[in-house]
Amino acid sequence: MGVASKKFGIAVLSFQVVFLVLFALLTTYDSEADARYPGNSLDPDKNGTDPERNSIAKYYPMFQDVHVMIFIGFGFLMTFLKRYGFGAVGLNFLIAAFVLQWAILFHAILHAAHADFAAAAVLISFGALLGKTSPLQLLIMAFIEIMIFSLNEWIGLTIFKAVDVGGSMFVHVFGAYFGLSAARVLYNPEIDKSSKEGSIYHSDIFAMIGTVFLWMYWPSFNSAVAAAGDDQHRAVINTYLALAACCIVTFAISSLTDKDAKFDMVHVQNATLAGGVAVGTSADMMIQPFGAVLIGCIAAVLSTVGYKYITPGLNIKLKIHDTCGVNNLHGMPGLLAGICGTIAAWFASVNTYGYSLYQTFPARAPLANSTSLHKIQTVLSIEPGDGRSASTQAMYQAIALVVTFFVACTAGALTGLLLRLSIFDGPRKYSRLFEDTLWWGTPEDFEEEENESSGSRNGEKNTGELLNKNAFDEEKV
């Protein structure tokens, strides 16, 4: 244990030293934060508080909302495991802080992007592997995933010029299927022997803290990078309505699919959020309020049915063990979002959007030096585009979704193969799965679970045998 802990400490400090050097070589303040910039020598009342001069007042509130989602929402949502609460919140904290720095640096090389969005993709992947990997494996996965994630996003936004304001394709679909592919390659038959995957009463309550924070702040996530004005306003409204409808339908489907007509806390914790994912790609589009509500309803059915039937099937038939059910919350709703975005793009027109069509879909703006562009620029400042038709834009939306799915699956599987190497200290015995004591110093009241079965995230009852306290010495790390 000591050797493994020291190995991790050395690795993470080495990464931090590299980050420090790269920040020194590659980064500097933007003009809005640089004291030497001429405009920043003006009267503070005219400079610091005027959003036209400095954007901090405009973007910081939504940035903080997204930040809360990353560190509290995602962290506490994963505390349902009865023996892995420290790992859920603590490693979420570590990986997010690691990714924020690496994403800023890698995006500086490739393109500018929101580092918290990149962190979300990695934390989604973490959910599929929760309780089954070492901290060192997670660190290496995060380092690799950010590079592939950034490259895929750059291709989607720059080459395909797809629109995905809420990141449902580039964040949720990518993160989910990267993690699921890694989970398949890392599949451990010992999982079936573990009795620790289930939840207990208070761990499920803690997980609901994450759910509520995510549910409340999801409109900020989907609208944070939308164009200021009606686009951002629309993104907030559409996400708000989709989440409300999703919550109601989730309770209904949860009750209807239970033989005793009872609610399942797994569904309430997760499927209630699927509407936020499913509306993400089209959040700033003119889908109308009824469209947002419809998307939320469909997402609730898809996600709840996924937890009830699809996740157990994936585990039994395909050996894809998905601890948090990310396929149901992020994967399938993300695919739904991409499809909805494709349909919305197909029907988008000047009649529906006015000239703001070219702000929502920049690639549809007329070509440079064209008469059409000049006419539009007399009333609205836009950049030249590719002159795409609605059908062409829709085609590229679909291509971006398909490419993201296959890139995520391929990269996740290859990363999983790398993580199988013994040097990364992956847990192998069932006594080490879903267990905090392997990696954390725990209080005295952290005792072994009693010999009772508990519902697992895979929709089955765990029948693993009770392990005594010496079981953790079975295998050297």
Model confidence pLDDT, tens digit, residues 228-269: 889 999 999 999 999 999 999 999 999 999 999 999 999 999
Helices 2-26 and 85-110: crossing angle in degrees, nearest 10, is: 30
pLDDT the model gives residue 111: 58
pLDDT digits (tens, 9 = 90+) for 385-413: 999 999 999 999 999 999 999 999 999 99
pLDDT at residue 92 tops 60:
yes
Question: What residues have CB less than 8 Å from 350, skipping those under 6 apart?
Answer: 357
The residue with greater pLDDT, 15 or 229, is 15
52, 68, 90, 323 from 76: Cα distances, Å: 37, 11, 10, 14
Tokens standing for residue 425: 């200290």
Phi-psi region of 444 (alpha: psi -120 to 50; beta: other; left: phi over 0): alpha
Q: Which residue has the tokens 């005594």?
A: 468
CB 333 within 8 A of CB 274: yes
CA atoms of 416 and 20, how far apart (whole Å): 28
pLDDT the model gives residue 471: 41
The CA R_g of the chain, rounded to the nearest whole Å, is 23
- For the chain, domain boundaries: 58-430
Band of residue 57 on the pLDDT scale cut at 50, 70, 90: confident
CA atoms of 428 and 63, how far apart (whole Å): 39
With DSSP H G I counted as helix, E B as strand and the rest as coil, what are the percentages for the chain, rounded to 5?
70, 0, 30
CATH assignment, 58-430: 1.10.3430.10
pLDDT digits (tens, 9 = 90+) for 67-84: 999 999 999 999 999 999
Secondary structure (3-state) at 50: coil
Band of residue 468 on the pLDDT scale cut at 50, 70, 90: very low
pLDDT the model gives residue 455: 47
Amino acid at 385: G
Query: 67-71 — which CB contacts under 8 Å span 24+ positions?
Result: 67/116, 68/213, 68/217, 69/116, 69/120, 69/213, 69/214, 69/217, 69/218, 69/220, 69/221, 70/96, 70/116, 70/119, 70/120, 70/123, 71/96
> Looking at residues 127-149, what average pLDDT do you find?
96
Amino acid at 66: V
Which of 1-10, 94-103, 423-432 has the lowest average pLDDT? 1-10
pTM over the 0.85 mark:
yes
Band of residue 114 on the pLDDT scale cut at 50, 70, 90: confident
> Looking at residues 278-299, what average pLDDT do you find?
98
pLDDT at residue 466 tops 80:
no
